[in-house]
Amino acid sequence: MYQSKWRSLTNHIILILGSLFMIMPVWIAFASSTHTREFLFQNGLQFMPGGHFFDNYGKILFDQSATKGRVTALQMLFNSMVLGLGFAIGKVIISMMAAYAIVYFRFRLAMPLFWVIFATLLLPLEVRIVPSYEVVAKLGLLNSYTGLILPLIASATGTFFFRQFYRSVPDELLEAARLDGAGPWRFFIDILVPLSVTMIAAIFIIMFVVGWNQYLWPLLMTTDDQLYTIVIGIKQVYNSLYEGGQIPQFPKAFALTIMASIPPVLVVVIFQRMFIRGLVETEK
Amino acid sequence: MKRVQFGHSPVPYLFVAPQIIIIAIFFLWPAAQAVHQSFLLEDAFGMSSQFVWFRNFNDVLSSPSWLKSAGFTVVFSSLVAVLSIAISLFLAVRADEVIRGAKVYKTLLMWGYAVAPPVAGLLGIMLFNPLMGDLYILFNKMGLDFNHIQNGNDATFVVVLIAVWKQVSVNFIFFLSGLQGIPKSVTEAATLDCKSAGRRFWTITFPLLAPTTFFLMVINLTYAFFETFGIIDVSTKGAPGGSTATLVYKVYVDGFLGADMGGSSAQSVLLMIMVSVLTVFQFRFIERKIHY
């Protein structure tokens, strides 16, 4: 394609500026997280890393007194991992099964159940947080992984994704399988699941990131420090920044921020192709 | 639906059961609860409650703080949607043209999707920290008299900036894949006919991207409504004086911190209605797009 030198040059300049716009805040946070708090307090945010990387990160990862609560960042990372994986696995399994029933079976309640599932798309958790909290409290699930994960799974995004995909699977497959005497379980396990592997991977990546990044629900659910996710930990540290008349703990807050971002960002960058495919095809 | 299906059997019920049970417990029950509570007025201790018809809705709709929050939500959502779409479309068009380093740019512009909203909120508010935030210092050195802690407009600027930063990557991904879906023959023919890149964009590329843009508009509005909760809670907390509190943030503040259950439920129900309208709109559009 014809392209003038000038156009190509401006393209690069614009893209570099755009990339800097995205990266600068994170870079500043990283550089600032490797200085002592006294240094930051006197000299402001830093653009160049300092010499306290291992010191600051080590303390926050392993020393309970470094965070405000009695929980290490390592524990918070573990909790986030449980939430991210639990959310992704639960969502994939449940929505694959529900979509299978809806697409491949003729049954009386198919339509009403489909509409119930559809209705969950209308009302995100955010608009029903107070009653959801009460329900989970009544069930005695506050401060538990179950209470953290299950209510988040109650939405139909995944189901719609798999429904779409199953509908694109050729009908001949089912005909052939039935001629060979395969029942519903066999067809699902031996044919449909293997066919869906790339789809499963794509949706799994997106759901892991979405689960890891949950904020409002874990914030309400967890009053026990031991169950804080790393994203919640950031808020706790940030809230206590100015407590006690000491020099604010900016490096600590930044270190937590960096640690909270590394796992989901790595997942998205490493599995970029699958991730983009999943995102664009589900249309959220 | 499929032409070929399994016949009647209890099997499908087993397959949908997990999802339906979770939905019933964690979705239908709370949603019904919200509707129910929105018609109740609890006494100060939460011991007894009384059925008051639409009084809670009346109170909410006539309260100045709710109207202020609704106004902010509209302004905030439109600014976030328009700005983040414009910026990412601009970047995506350039990234689509570039040949050398295309992959690197793509990666550098898309990773932001994975950043949690509260993380973005913290990064942003640190840059506006009055003690050491570079942007705060820079703006005041330029003589702008910038103070987001006391000035509502400045605070709005801060949350919009953070929310846009967080959303650019998603829009960028959609626009770039939209652009790459345009057949090369179309772009080449356009290049032969028209030398001006700007005119080519507005007459050929943009109309072809219109469905994507419209879809992103809905996605971005939903994002600005709900997912910015984390950004606001970590950055401005709705301050000063509720001038940066979205409706969702207000439901949380009134329901959890203010313990006004009836009022908060009425707000929830109003939000549910608004979102339902938005989603139905979105779905009708997507259905239509499939028929093209």
Question: Which domains occur in chain B, in start order?
Answer: 63-291 (1.10.3720.10)
Query: How many whole angstroms separate alpha carbon B124 and alpha carbon A36?
Result: 21
User: Is the distance from CB of B236 to CB of B151 less than 8 angstroms?
Assistant: no
Position B268, amino acid: S
* Mutation site, A2, A4, A22, A258, interface B, largest B CB count within 10 A: A22
State which residue of chain A sits closest to B130, comparing Cα positions.
Answer: A44
Per this entry, what is the length of chain B? 292
User: Is the distance from CB of B90 to CB of A11 less than 8 angstroms?
Assistant: no
Structure tokens that stand for A143 in this block: 């401060």
**CATH number for the segment(s) A26-282:** 1.10.3720.10
pTM attached to this predicted model: 0.89
Query: How many whole angstroms separate alpha carbon B166 and alpha carbon B160?
Result: 10
Query: How many whole angstroms separate alpha carbon B137 and alpha carbon A271?
Result: 39
- The DSSP-derived string for B190-237 is HHHH---HHHHIIIIIHHHHHHHHHHHHHHHHHIIIIITHHHHHHTTT
User: Is the distance from CB of A187 to CB of A180 less than 8 angstroms?
Assistant: no
Identify which of B87, B106, B177, B220 has the alpha carbon closest to the alpha carbon of residue A272.
Answer: B106
User: Between the CA atoms of A49, A52, A56 and A57, what dihedral angle is there, to the nearest 10 degrees?
Assistant: 70
B115–A261 CB contact, under 8 Å: yes
Structure tokens that stand for A217 in this block: 């629900």
A28–B134 CB contact, under 8 Å: yes
Q: CB distance from A14 to chain B under 8 Å?
A: yes
Is the bond preceding B240 in cis, omega lying within 30 degrees of 0?
yes
User: Is the distance from CB of A247 to CB of A41 less than 8 angstroms?
Assistant: yes
Query: How many whole angstroms separate alpha carbon B130 and alpha carbon B147?
Result: 8
User: Is the distance from CB of A283 to CB of B220 less than 8 angstroms?
Assistant: no
What is residue A245's predicted lDDT score, i.e. its pLDDT? Answer: 62
A129–B255 CB contact, under 8 Å: yes
Position A217, amino acid: W
Query: B49-51 and B40-42 as β-strands: parallel, antiparallel, unpaired?
Result: antiparallel
Q: CB distance from A151 to chain B under 8 Å?
A: yes
Query: How many whole angstroms separate alpha carbon B277 and alpha carbon B108?
Result: 35
pLDDT band with cut points at 50, 70 and 90 for residue A67: low
User: Is the distance from CB of A87 to CB of A153 less than 8 angstroms?
Assistant: yes
**DSSP structural state of residue B26:** I
Give mean pLDDT, residues A49-76.
Answer: 78
- The DSSP-derived string for B119-144 is HHHHHHHHHT-TTT-HHHHHHHHTT-
Q: CB distance from A192 to chain B under 8 Å?
A: no
A41–B131 CB contact, under 8 Å: yes
Q: CB distance from A283 to chain B under 8 Å?
A: yes
Q: CB distance from B102 to chain A under 8 Å?
A: no
Burial degree of A1 (CB within 10 A; 0-12, 13-18, 19+): exposed
Residues near B286 by Cβ (< 8 Å), separated by ≥ 6?
A: A283, B215
Out of A106, A130, A185, whose CB is closest to B261? Answer: A130
- Looking at beta carbons, which residues of chain B come within 8 Å of A154? 22-23, 25-27
Instruction: Give the bridge partners for B19, in sequence order.
Output: none
pLDDT in tens, chain B (292 residues): 566 677 777 888 888 888 899 888 888 888 888 888 778 776 656 666 777 777 778 777 878 888 989 999 999 999 999 999 999 999 999 998 888 888 899 999 999 999 999 999 999 988 888 878 888 888 888 878 888 888 888 899 999 999 999 999 999 999 999 898 888 888 888 888 877 878 888 888 888 888 888 888 888 888 898 889 999 998 888 878 788 889 888 888 887 777 677 777 888 888 888 877 877 776 666 555 543 3
- Looking at beta carbons, which residues of chain B come within 8 Å of A134? 30, 33
Number of A/B CB contacts below 8 angstroms equals 296
B20–A113 CB contact, under 8 Å: yes
- Looking at beta carbons, which residues of chain B come within 8 Å of A107? 8-9, 12-13
Identify which of A199, A119, A216 has the alpha carbon closest to the alpha carbon of residue A165.
Answer: A199
B15–A100 CB contact, under 8 Å: yes
Q: CB distance from B255 to chain A under 8 Å?
A: yes
Q: CB distance from B89 to chain A under 8 Å?
A: no
The interface pTM score, or ipTM, of the predicted complex is 0.87
User: Is the distance from CB of B149 to CB of B125 less than 8 angstroms?
Assistant: no
- Looking at beta carbons, which residues of chain A come within 8 Å of B5? 104-106, 174
* Mutation site, A15, A187, A214, interface B, largest B CB count within 10 A: A15
What is residue B181's predicted lDDT score, i.e. its pLDDT? Answer: 86
Per-residue model confidence as pLDDT tens digits over A145-198? 988 898 888 878 888 888 888 888 888 888 888 888 888 888 888 889 999 998
- The number of helices, as runs of H, and strands, as runs of E, in chain A is 16, 0
Structure tokens that stand for A284 in this block: 């959220």
- Looking at beta carbons, which residues of chain A come within 8 Å of B116? 212-213, 215, 231, 260-261, 264
B127–A40 CB contact, under 8 Å: no
Chain A nearest C-alpha distance from B153 (Å): 22
Cα–Cα distances (Å) from A53 to A49, A68, A72, A73, A207, in that order, read 8, 20, 17, 15, 31
Q: CB distance from A247 to chain B under 8 Å?
A: no
Q: Where are the domains of chain A?
A: 26-282
Query: How many whole angstroms separate alpha carbon A163 and alpha carbon A201?
Result: 16
Position B266, amino acid: A
Chain A nearest C-alpha distance from B245 (Å): 14
A12–B101 CB contact, under 8 Å: yes
Identify which of A129, A220, A223 has the alpha carbon closest to the alpha carbon of residue B264.
Answer: A129
**DSSP structural state of residue A45:** S
Cα–Cα distances (Å) from A161 to A193, A196, A205, B277, in that order, read 14, 11, 14, 21
